[in-house]
Amino acid sequence: GENVEQHPSTLSVQEGDSAVIKCTYSDSASNYFPWYKQELGKRPQLIIDIRSNVGEKKDQRIAVTLNKTAKHFSLHITETQPEDSAVYFCASMDSNYQLIWGAGTKLIIKP
């Protein structure tokens, strides 16, 4: 069935540097790709999403890129700050409107 692979599982970057998290999906009919951030002990919250008719979307320090041909999408965070420390989850929505989730990336921002 449909699955989403997310890498890396843990990412440690120096404060101020950039972070990139990558996901690949298998269902070519997938058309919606959200990213959620979950801080320790908190609920997952949507931070950015992209639809299949768009190749890139930016929101301040956060951007998402989508390559439909290769079936992968990435989250880019620039000028990382301590409050960016969290677990980030990617997902893709299949043709039955069901979200298929990645296993998460723990992002650690080193001071």
Partner 1 sequence: ETGVTQTPRHLVMGMTNKKSLKCEQHLGHNAMYWYKQSAKKPLELMFVYNFKEQTENNSVPSRFSPECPNSSHLFLHLHTLQPEDSALYLCASSQGAEYTGELFFGEGSRLTVL
Q: How far is the CB of 51 from partner 1 (least distance, A)?
A: 7
What is the Cα–Cα distance from 90 to 62, expressed in whole angstroms? 14
What is the Cα–Cα distance from 70 to 28, expressed in whole angstroms? 10
Query: Is the Cβ of residue 15 or residue 54 nearer to partner 1 in the bound state?
Result: 54
Query: Is the Cβ of residue 53 or residue 111 nearer to partner 1 in the bound state?
Result: 53
Q: How far is the CB of 3 from partner 1 (least distance, A)?
A: 8
Cβ-based burial of 45 (10 A; exposed 0-12, middle 13-18, buried ≥19) = exposed
What is the Cα–Cα distance from 75 to 87, expressed in whole angstroms? 12
Query: Is the Cβ of residue 19 or residue 36 nearer to partner 1 in the bound state?
Result: 36
Positions in the binding site for partner 1 (CB under 8 A): 4, 9, 31-32, 34, 36, 42-46, 49, 51, 89, 91, 93, 97-104
Query: Is the Cβ of residue 20 or residue 100 nearer to partner 1 in the bound state?
Result: 100
Q: Which one-letter amino acid corresponds to residue 47? A: I
**Cβ 107 vs Cβ 11: under 8 Å:** yes
Q: How far is the CB of 17 from partner 1 (least distance, A)?
A: 24
